[in-house]
Amino acid sequence: MLITLVIAMFAAPPDSNAVVIQPVANMYSKPAVEVNVVSQAIYSTNVAVLEKQPSWTKIRTPDGYLGWVQSSALIFSKPYATDGRVAQVESLFSGIYREADITTHQPLVIVPFEARLEVVAGPIGDDDRWLQVRLPDDRTAWIQSGDVTFSVRKLSVPELIEWSKRFIGLPYIWGGTSTLGYDCSGFTQMLCRRRGYSLPRDSGPQADWQGMQAVDRAELQPGDLLYFGESAKKITHTGMYIGNGEFIDATAYLKPIVQISQLEGHWSKLLVAARRIR
């Protein structure tokens, strides 16, 4: 009976909702910080709650990824920013303030690119500079209108290649999915979102995704995705080909940042697959 009561205390209703309230929440393979990080969820993301333990919650992100996060990173509530007037952060980072002023107080929170926010008022002022937003914890706050967009435009391949270069120099972080740090597949997944495609989270499943078609190395075109590893069954890295023997990737090799790499030497030897979105 005691065991049944304990299980009932920490069981979560099937697919109940929570919203991430930290700039980036690490997702762990088990409910402990000593284990590996498998992915991340960024501020304002709605996640499905699968299980609860003291101080920990098992979640599923919108791309279907599972992991454990510290419960303090979440607020358990109805879905956030799913309808009404919603803005998405377009700057690499954006400060959210308690008033429409950047000098009076430090930001309440600094959120990364792609965070979504419910807009309740604005733009206001002579220069249309500020928007009032409702945060996931129901506080009202202010964000500068130049940091967000109300309409995320799909990019063509040439546009995407130029746009992707704005991320050069951001840090590489294992499991990273934000401008605070990307890993290779998190970066590629984000780039493909900007084309309007929802790829799997990890590089191996990306290469196997049904929306891809195989491409011979001799037939590479800008926008194709490159996959590296010991073999096609053991893929460990990915990047996007940008032409002229170069690709953009988030890598820990030599310099742990988002960078433009050469498809020669080290990388040429490890290339095991190339894919083009159908």
> What CA–CA distances, in Å, run from 70 to 73, 86, 111, 204?
6, 27, 18, 27
How much is the pLDDT for 128? 85
114 has a pLDDT exceeding 50: yes
pLDDT band, very low/low/confident/very high, at 8 (cuts 50, 70, 90): very low
Q: What is the DSSP letter of 9?
A: H
Residue holding tokens 């590089």? 203
Instruction: Give the number of C-alpha atoms closer than 13 A to the C-alpha of residue 64, restricted to the C-beta side.
Output: 6
Q: Which CATH number fits domain 2-75: 2.30.30.40, 2.60.40.60, 3.10.180.10, 3.40.50.2300?
A: 2.30.30.40
Mean pLDDT for the stretch of residues 233-259: 97
At 98 the pLDDT is: 96
- Token pair in block for residue 197: 């495609």
What CATH number has the domain spanning 157-277? 3.90.1720.10
pLDDT-wise least confident of 96-105, 115-124, 134-143, 191-200: 115-124
What Å distances lie between residue 232 and 87, 210, 270, 276, CA to CA? 39, 15, 10, 16
The pLDDT of residue 2 is: 40
Residue 123: per-residue pLDDT? 80
In the prediction, which pLDDT does 119 show?
Answer: 97
Over residues 26-56, the pLDDT tens digits come to: 999 999 999 999 999 999 999 999 999 999 9
Show the tokens assigned to 53: 């333990």
Query: What does the pLDDT read at residue 11?
Result: 54
Distance of CA 32 to the CA centre of its chain: 22
Q: Hey, what are 252's tokens?
A: 């820990």
d(CA 143, CA 107): 9
Beta-strand pair 246-251/257-262: antiparallel
Mean pLDDT to the nearest integer, 211-231? 97
**Would the CATH topology of 2-75 be identical to that of 86-149?**
yes
User: DSSP readout, 137-158?
Assistant: TS-EEEEEGGGEESS-----HH
Boundaries of every domain in the chain = 2-75, 86-149, 157-277
Mean pLDDT of the region 77-103: 97
The answer on pLDDT for 5 being more than 80 is no
pLDDT tier for residue 122 given thresholds of 50, 70 and 90:
confident
Look at residue 13 and tell me whether its pLDDT is greater than 70: no
- Which CATH architecture best describes the domain 86-149? Roll (2.30)
Helices marked H in the chain: 2-10, 157-164, 184-193, 203-208, 265-270
Average pLDDT over residues 181-199: 98
| Cα–Cα distance, 59 to 52 (Å, whole number) | 9
Prediction pTM value = 0.92
Are the C-beta atoms of residues 54 and 142 closer than 8 Å to each other?
no
